[in-house]
Amino acid sequence: MSENAGQPVWLITGSSAGLGLALTRYALSQGHRVIATSRSPPKTPDLVQEVESQGGKWLALDTTQTDQQIKEIVRQAESFFGRIDVLVNNAAFCVLGAVEDLPDADIVLQMRTNFLGPVRIMQAVLPGMRKRRSGMIMNVSSTQGFVASHACGVYAASKFALEAMSEACRAEVAAFGIRVLIIEPGAFRTGFANPSAAKYIEPSEAYAGEHVVNQRLIQVNKYIGTAMGSPEKAAMVMFEAATGKGAAGELIEKEKILRVILGPDSWKAIDMKIKELRRSADLIQEVAASTNL
């Protein structure tokens, strides 16, 4: 029996880059067992070899696959080490553009990738977690999953939906000893917004030029690769959050925190949204109360 046979088993989607890769590496470095996934493992043979040389596994998983295909992949993942203790729904991409300009096919693909796929994976791992009465589901959202901004409408919608499902699921599975966390990353130095990974919708005439949509698209392109967030530091916090270890993990577990905010930029945007919600709720209180029979 290997020396780490009793260590937790992770299933991490989107492991070939960004936060997924950083978390995969960090969990392995801590002696945990990791099943990494990506859409096309043959495209990253060095990463596959790196993970497997440390006792991990790598599977092909595309979040747009059918419900039955995802269930089969999860069954295969569970067969490697006998269970899945931590699910990290990290795989995602973003479609950027004005709501009016968004092609229907891109809206559907965005929701299938960022929302429906993660939900199906959750559904596939929950029976095993319920049976063992333990487990952790960590859904990677975004600042945009709490604060939607211009040019990010459908991406934000996909993350808002994932957050809503996470909140509901958290309440439903707590009795089974299963925890659910939402990760709220800000801007991190990954390739997430690169044109090769993201989908930029060319603004129509009304949204071109000096319009805020076009200016946002220009801004995102301009700052690719210059974000201040460190994926490696984010991975450490995510690991602590999942395990309840370290300063971050102890705080999150003790205070029953649902949303783990990563990055001062994310904290600032979320804090501003909360303040605005508080202001609006206070102002509209009497109007709300006036509608009863």
Tell me the per-residue pLDDT of 214-273, one tens digit each, with 9 for 90 and over.
Answer: 999 998 887 778 889 999 999 999 999 999 999 999 999 999 999 999 999 999 999 999
pLDDT band at 20 (very low <50, low <70, confident <90, very high): very high
How high is the pLDDT of residue 176? 98
pLDDT at residue 3, rounded to an integer:
57
The residue annotated as part of the active site, out of 38, 141, 142, 166, is: 141
Exactly one of 155, 158, 207, 266 is catalytic; name it: 155
- Phi, psi of 222, rounded to the nearest 5 degrees: -65, -35
- Residue 193 pLDDT grade (very low, low, confident, very high; cuts 50, 70, 90): confident
Confirm whether 159 is a catalytic residue.
yes
Cα–Cα distance, 164 to 238 (Å, whole number): 20
Within the chain, residue ranges assigned H as helices are 18-29, 45-53, 67-81, 104-111, 117-132, 153-173, 212-222, 231-243, 246-254, 264-289
Give the pTM: 0.95
Structural domains of the chain, ranges and CATH numbers in brackets? 9-264 (3.40.50.720)
Active site residue 158: no
From residue 209, alpha-carbon distances to 102, 177, 291 in Å are 18, 53, 44
% of the chain beyond a pLDDT of 90: 92
Euclidean distance between CA atoms 8 and 4, whole angstroms: 9
Exactly one of 26, 158, 159, 166 is catalytic; name it: 159
Average pLDDT over residues 159-171: 98
